[in-house]
Amino acid sequence: MRVLAAMSGGVDSAVAAALAVEAGHDVVGVHMALSRNRDQFRTGSRGCCSIEDAGDARRAADVLGIPYYVWDLSERFEDTVVADFLAEYEAGRTPNPCVRCNEHIKFEALLDKATALGFDAVATGHYAQVVTRELPDGTTARELHRATDAEKDQSYVLAVMGPERLERAMFPLGGFASKAEVRAEAARRGLSVSAKPDSYDICFVADGDTRGFLRDRLGSRPGVVVDTDGAVVGEHDGAYAYTVGQRRGLGLGRPAADGRPRYVVDVRADTNTVVVGPAELLTVDRIAGERTVWFAGALAADGAGAGEWFDAQVQVRAHGAAIGARVRAVPGGAGLEVALTERPLRGVAAGQSVVVYRGTQVLGQATVSRAWRAAPVAV
């Protein structure tokens, strides 16, 4: 197969490209330039799009003996991932930019361009596995599963890609037991990135100051912080900078009457108001989702495509635990509903992703639109 290897400049994507070459594929490496701002490509950038990363990707491609190109996807990245990030915070929601990057850039813009150029698949350094299984009607479907290494598993942020794009995706690292094994593989192959530190934080927030980034882009919007009775207990410079579950940096003018810590329990974008309250108000046992993506055959076994409830597990954070739940696809719409059965969750915010699993298999994904307790919590 002709395979386009997405090479970020890190050890994971370099080893993924190497394994694709070793498997006998005709591989071409490409590095995605995602920023319009050269400052974000400075030395020491904490994301995955610095000048050093492009150079590291080129050197890895040279070692592997494959062609290498840099594709400028900065305009698409700004218009989709960054714009969504700003719009979601401005609306009082909590987005996950890595999910949107996988949706709009790596498995939309990149994969679609690769297909147009005649490539059969895109290989990335994500930690996940693809399993091909025969369906009851005799057809086959590719399933997205968790990686062998649970600590590095990235199936949560990949779930948004859906079944059609999964058909043309390769994740060569899914079977590795640990990151140490991947680094050892890189060293064995003479790849200089074998000891390179992992990237972290939001790649387009170069200094890690998310609140500062939002303030620079959205401007100052002074407002008040109130308690659940509506009493003003503080001020803020923009409700967009707060998220449900936040405790630090609230700048409250007076402590709670009972002396207990207070958390952000609601962000009301329409009135530019932040509401704080006790931890109990963060506990939820029901979740509604929108913009739902289901994988092929995921619901057929349960008949849940008609809106029937079925048993599954759900995960609401990239590195959170999956917990037992009852789930159903909303009939006639693009939503889903979740009733947690194992235990409640705390601090689930609109805008987060909720991913539905059956064991290691990803069944589907949605963006949280609402999270609440079925019965009121006494405080």
| Residues marked as catalytic | 101, 203
Q: Which residues contact 128 (CB under 8 A, 6 or more apart)?
A: 144, 145, 146, 147, 153, 154, 155, 158, 171, 174
CA–CA–CA angle 366, 155, 183 (5° rounding): 155
Measured in whole angstroms, the distance separating CA 111 from the mean position of its chain's CA atoms is 18
- The whole-angstrom separation of Cα 342 and Cα 143 is 25
Cβ-based neighbour number of residue 104 at 10 Å: 20
Contact between residue 148 and residue 176 where contact means Cβ atoms under 8 Å apart: yes
Look at residues 342, 283, 289, 333 and name the one whose alpha carbon lies nearest to residue 312.
Answer: 342
Measured in whole angstroms, the distance separating CA 371 from the mean position of its chain's CA atoms is 19
